[in-house]
Amino acid sequence: VQRMEAMLEQFVPLWNELDTIDETLCVLEPSHPTRSDVFRRIAIGGHCSLLVTLNVSRPRSIPECQFLGAEDRVAAHREKFALAPQEWTPDRSVLENLERILKTSFPRKKDGHDEESAMACGICYAFHLDGAAPHTACNSCARPYHALCLAEWLRSVPSTRRSFDTLFGACPYCSAPIRISAAPK
């Protein structure tokens, strides 16, 4: 029993970091996190989100980060995060480091933000579809879409073109050019 307790004790710093994120921020995914989930998709605002995956053995080290949303809206965040190795401070929490490096304050739960509805698919108006969140966004209006919804929408529009395995059409909201795999996963 003591060996098991000692083994679990090594995960406490990881769980503390994740608990801080869960209690403070608008977490989009996982909707019901467990202790085995070492990632969080958090709302940034403006139909953008950040998928953060923590290092299990060093939870306060620089996490793996993937910015999701329209390219023109997440590009600035990517550029700032590229400086993370020089600016990351391991004695600060992951949340503090991310906000400091990205020079932003993430939407808080207590602020009453309904980021999940802001990140809902622009076609089906749901956040989760078969367990998946919207990961495709229009580069013009930043409206997020489920890949399945957008592919089905584009197939129904007569002006959509198909080239190999890609559908090219217009965003349902702003009519800007948009493309998606014809066989989304």
Alpha carbons 103 and 117: distance in angstroms, whole number = 24
- 62 secondary structure, DSSP code: P
Tell me what pLDDT residue 81 has.
Answer: 94
Helix axes 94-102, 71-81, angle to 10 degrees: 110
Query: Residue 163 in contact with residue 144, Cβ under 8 Å?
Result: no
- 110 secondary structure, DSSP code: G
Tell me what pLDDT residue 74 has.
Answer: 87
Query: Residue 172 in contact with residue 157, Cβ under 8 Å?
Result: no
Query: Residue 113 in contact with residue 107, Cβ under 8 Å?
Result: yes
Query: Residue 103 in contact with residue 80, Cβ under 8 Å?
Result: yes
**Low-confidence spans in the chain with pLDDT less than 70:** 110-118, 185
